Amino acid sequence: MILKVLLVLLVIGIVYFMFIKKKPLPTTKKDENEKLESNDMVQCVSCGTYAELGETIISSNKYYCSSQCVDKG
């Protein structure tokens, strides 16, 4: 019976998708404690400009876009 074959295939499909879903996806929500990536944008506390994290200056746990802004505070 073709119906029986389809039913078996359906069951295999369900089991297969359940197995796939169990796998942790790489695009899971970021953990709050996770460190920021270097290409993430951060706001300069002095002038408000957004800059890439890798290009910012971190002074007393605050982000600055340039040394001039660090001097300004």
Q: Residue 38 or residue 68: which is nearer to Zn ion going by CB?
A: 68
Instruction: Considering only residues 4 through 63, tell me which ones interact with Zn ion, judged by CB under 5 A.
Output: 44, 46-47, 49
Return the H-helix or E-strand segment holding 5. Answer: helix 2-22
C-alpha neighbours within 13 Å on the C-beta side of residue 67 = 0
Least Cβ distance, residue 60 to Zn ion (angstroms): 15
Half-sphere exposure of 29 toward its Cβ, with a 13 Å CA cutoff?
2
Provide the minimum distance between the beta carbon of 35 and Zn ion in the complex, in angstroms, as a whole number.
22
Binding of Zn ion by 70 (CB under 5 A): no
Q: Hunting for tokens 């295999």 — which residue is that?
A: 12
In the numeric block, which tokens belong to residue 28? Answer: 């899971």
Least distance from Zn ion to the Cβ atom of residue 50, Å: 10
Residues of this chain that bind Zn ion (CB under 5 A)? 44, 46-47, 49, 65, 69
